[in-house]
Amino acid sequence: MSDLIEEAGHDSSALTNVKALRLPRAIVPPITIMEADMAYKTILAIVGTSTSDQFLRQAAELSYSAGAHLSVLAVVLAAPPPDYAAMISDAWLEEQQEDRRRLDEKVTNARDILSTSAGSFEVGGLYCEATWAHGEIGTRAMYADLLLMGDAEIIGSHLRRQAIDGALFDARRPVLLVPKTRPVTLSPRKVILAWDSGPDAASAAREALELMKGAERVNVVMVDPNADQDRQGEDPGADIAAYLARQGIKVMVDRFASGDRTIAETLRQRASELSADLLVMGAYGHSRLRERIFGGVTQSMIDTATVPVLLAR
């Protein structure tokens, strides 16, 4: 169950560093060759009661620069009830009342901050049990083009995970992770596309097409590519590079051996070397449960993003 509070606001082809372009078969899944206008017109930002005013201003500036409407959803996860109905106490009821008061306060605070911005915005509040949070947030994300997600210290790790799951799995919407220490832009100059020739990476590439078209350069980064795999072909990366080049994107292919590093560490290092403005990657090539138990590239990036990361699947 959940409570929803709404507050209205303003209504207001170059190709380099690729050995060959032999295309014996279509490596990129068909969904990636569809033409689409990927302009972001509605951006959903999830905030908690401790989210800083600076993040709200950053979200407003990002949305305004993209000509997008900003929808802010302040979320408080309800404290779980006692194990037995008979054990429901005044303390638990008082805790719920305090949670609702903090939520109302955050909605008002967000509205006051955004009222000084020039862009279009709306602010809502959601109070729900943790079990239902991803579904509630996913429902809201269905009506947005992009979900903006701050650092775990800004929003809280549990709410952050629920919001990311809601966007990626319930709404099938991309998520832009915003590190606390890095600026974020929807007009990146240097972009890294993490590529493994899989369907999730292909979906991420399609999602980011318009962003990559405006970049000075896109580096397709492959870690431990295997030329013997059917889907990667004899020259790993050549197929996606050719596809991007036909879109007018300036692209280079980088192939790396991970050595004693993880794939996520290799991607972060390359992003640092290139001073990348954005890293684009497919989310959860393995199951969510497997990644959370054993670790994985997506989970590692979610936990320790050092540059803005666009996740899609």
**What pTM does this model have?**
0.83
Percent of the chain with pLDDT strictly greater than 90: 64
**Quick one: which of 201, 217, 135, 148 has its CA closest to 176?**
148
- Domains parsed from the chain with CATH numbers: 41-177 (3.40.50.620), 190-312 (3.40.50.620)
SS3 at position 177: strand
Reported as a single tens digit per residue, the pLDDT across 110-154 is 999 999 988 999 999 999 998 899 999 999 999 999 999 998 877
Tens digit of each residue's pLDDT (9 = 90 or more) over 184-236 = 999 999 999 999 999 999 999 999 999 999 999 999 999 998 866 666 667 88
Q: How far, CA to CA in Å, does 308 sit from each of 135, 150, 204, 255, 282?
A: 25, 10, 14, 22, 14
Tell me how far CA of residue 104 lies from CA of 61, 62, 107, 290, in angstroms. 24, 25, 5, 37
